Chains A and B, each alone.
Chain A
Amino acid sequence: MTDQALPPQAPLVPVLSPAHEAWRVFRGNKAAIWGLVVLLLIMLVMLCGPRLYGVDPFAIVAPPFSEPFQNPQLWLGSDYLGRDILAGLLIGGRATLLVGVSAAAITVVIGITVGALAGYFGGWIDAWLSRLTELFQVLPALLFAMVLVTLFQPSLGVVICAIGMVSWTSTARLTRAEFIRLRSLEYVHAARTMGAGDWHLIWREILPNAMAPLIVSATLVVGVAILFEAGLSFLGLSDPNVMSWGMMIGANRRHILECWWAVTLPGAAIFLTVLSVSLVGDGLNDALNPKMHLR
């Protein structure tokens, strides 16, 4: 027997790790790559832009309603108070992204905990947690967040908690469904037979296998949370000492016709950010879906 006796038709298939394989599919999705690139660029600008530009977004630096592209010192013009639009744009995404990502993190933590406990234990725990989920689904999200922010003061922390509190229900339902599907699979029974406790089964056996749809849903939650933060700051319900894109639009709301640039530009920034987040989410959806790997 020599090596030449091996069947010649079997082509060499490189064995890729799941992460590598996911990246290969993700890389093939042009829109997702564009989304990722734009998102990284936005983050880079948020990180370095304000320091490089060095203008205080709250400072009054020019006459109000200065038009854009007229003055090289004031590239994007000024708003109704005479504040530099470019300075606001450069720093305004920090609050937006921070709130979006933190609120999504809270959403995911609450959602996974509630969903995992309900789906794993079933019975009365499931019944009560499902009622709780239903209750929070019934509360009108934006109004409830508005009430929370009004009753407690509008600081970044309160805004983050308010958004997190109203948006965890869909993650909880998704996690619960995944846990119900996975908990009766053989490998879970095997682990239980070997003496694994509930805690180990939930976090080490079932959750890792439920991660793919949860990661995708978490990405989508980031986009929703960014829009949510923008809406709250547009209504004037955000920390008044932190410049954000939504706040720029809200502040200039009464002067839409006098200075269109002060409302359209921050809106375009929000749009671009949310769009790239959702493109990345779509890409992850394909990349983490095993059915797509067969192609």
Chain B
Amino acid sequence: MTIVRRLLVALGLMVAVLAINFTLIHAAPGDPASVIAGEMGGGDQAVIDSIKKAYGLDKPLPEQFIAYLSKSVRGDLGMSYTYNKPVSSLIAERIGPTILLVMTALLTAIIVGTLLGVLASLKPKSLRSAVVTVFSLAGLAMPVFWTGILLVILFGKVWPVMPIAGMYDVRNYGATGWAAALDALHHLVLPALTLTLVYLAQYSRLARASMLEVLGSDYVRTARAKGLHEAVVVFKHALRNALMPLVTVAGLQFGNLISGAVLVETVFSWPGLGTLALDAILGRDYPTLLGVLTFSSLFVIAANLLTDVSYRWIDPRLRTTR
């Protein structure tokens, strides 16, 4: 599939995602205008009619969809009911902390997980391999919010050395530069560790399985027969091919980072998109909720495109157009 065709498919997916969101708003029980009126404290038919007019809800559905589409494309996701601000600027405020949290966790997990997987695959019957397997089984069965809570109890009560909520300490209010960055990093430790543990379980399991498969292939035997150093065989020859499934999963998780962070952000009151989505739900703030959903879906589509490009970079065989 050429890049151009891939882009066209991505474009089609974006329109489809917007169509689903649009359908959701209209399929939900209750007329949006009366819901808005209700959120504003109730109102009579005249108020509802004026809201319908203001939001274009009195027009036929296809026309409404086109309007919704063109607004979304221009980055206008509507106004938040609770914050009384454009949803797009709310998202812009909250995306930074989420990316910081998820990228820290994802990168740590990829590096450590790959190393653990490689170590386990070199001696598949050994104790360390069994430890990695048990660890990843347990890690995948733990509800992520529970892991977070256990860490809060451990580092907030038993051995209180870490901040357990928020991104900045209120005592440091107004701090800038290094002091603020250090404070944020200190607050980042526990939520990032929680998320890392989940991802780590997946990566070490995947890396182990993938390496075991590659290490059994003929070209690895050839490389060993040539008398190459074992480290070169493992890290240069085998690992490069074993990385493919890891890239696939990393791409999926990077795209899903907002969804994946909701639970961890909630446990640690981390001011990211996940807590924004949850607050929107608790406050019945539909534009914000759907805005975050739309934004996250578009983020996934973009991440998938990036994954495709990185396949070509890792695997030269894919560079020639098929």
> Which A residues form the contact surface with B (CB < 8 A)?
131, 134-135, 137-144, 146-148, 150-152, 223, 227, 230-231, 234-237, 246, 249, 253, 256-257, 260, 263-264, 267-268, 270-271, 274-275, 278-279, 282
Question: CB of B263 within 8 A of chain A?
Answer: yes
Q: A142 contacts B259, CB within 8 Å?
A: yes
Partner of B152, one of A223, A256, A268, A278: A256
Question: A131-B13, A223-B141 given. 6 additional CB < 8 A pairs?
Answer: A131-B9, A143-B277, A231-B145, A236-B282, A237-B281, A274-B140
Partner of A270, one of B28, B143, B153, B259: B143
Q: B153 contacts A260, CB within 8 Å?
A: yes
Question: CB of B111 within 8 A of chain A?
Answer: no
Given contacts A257-B157, A275-B137, contact A140 B278 (CB under 8 A): no
Q: Restricting to B6-23, which residues have a CB under 8 Å from any CB of A?
A: 9, 12-13, 16-17, 20
Q: B258 contacts A138, CB within 8 Å?
A: no
Q: Restricting to B237-260, which residues have a CB under 8 Å from any CB of A?
A: 255-256, 258-260
Q: B141 contacts A140, CB within 8 Å?
A: no
Which residues in B have their C-beta under 8 angstroms from that of A231? Answer: 143-145, 262-263
Q: A151 contacts B138, CB within 8 Å?
A: no
Main secondary structure of the interface of B (DSSP, over half): helix
Q: B29 contacts A152, CB within 8 Å?
A: yes
The residue on A at minimum CB distance from B145 is A234
Question: CB of B61 within 8 A of chain A?
Answer: no
Q: B293 contacts A141, CB within 8 Å?
A: no
Q: A139 contacts B297, CB within 8 Å?
A: yes
Partner of B142, one of A146, A249, A271: A271
> Which B residues form the contact surface with A (CB < 8 A)?
9, 12-13, 16-17, 20, 24-25, 27-29, 137-138, 140-146, 149-150, 152-153, 156-157, 255-256, 258-260, 262-263, 266-267, 277-278, 281-282, 284, 286, 289-290, 292-293, 296-297, 300-301, 304
- Number of residue pairs A-B, CB distance < 8 angstroms: 139
Which residues in B have their C-beta under 8 angstroms from that of A263? Answer: 146, 149, 153
Complex CA–CA separation, A82 to B322 (angstroms) = 66
Q: A234 contacts B263, CB within 8 Å?
A: yes
Distance in angstroms from A55 CB to nearest chain B CB is 24
Complex CA–CA separation, A276 to B41 (angstroms) = 49
The residue on B at minimum CB distance from A282 is B137
Q: A143 contacts B293, CB within 8 Å?
A: yes
Which residues in A have their C-beta under 8 angstroms from that of B292? Answer: 143
Q: B258 contacts A143, CB within 8 Å?
A: yes
The residue on B at minimum CB distance from A138 is B300
Complex CA–CA separation, A7 to B141 (angstroms) = 53
Q: B149 contacts A256, CB within 8 Å?
A: yes
Q: A270 contacts B157, CB within 8 Å?
A: no
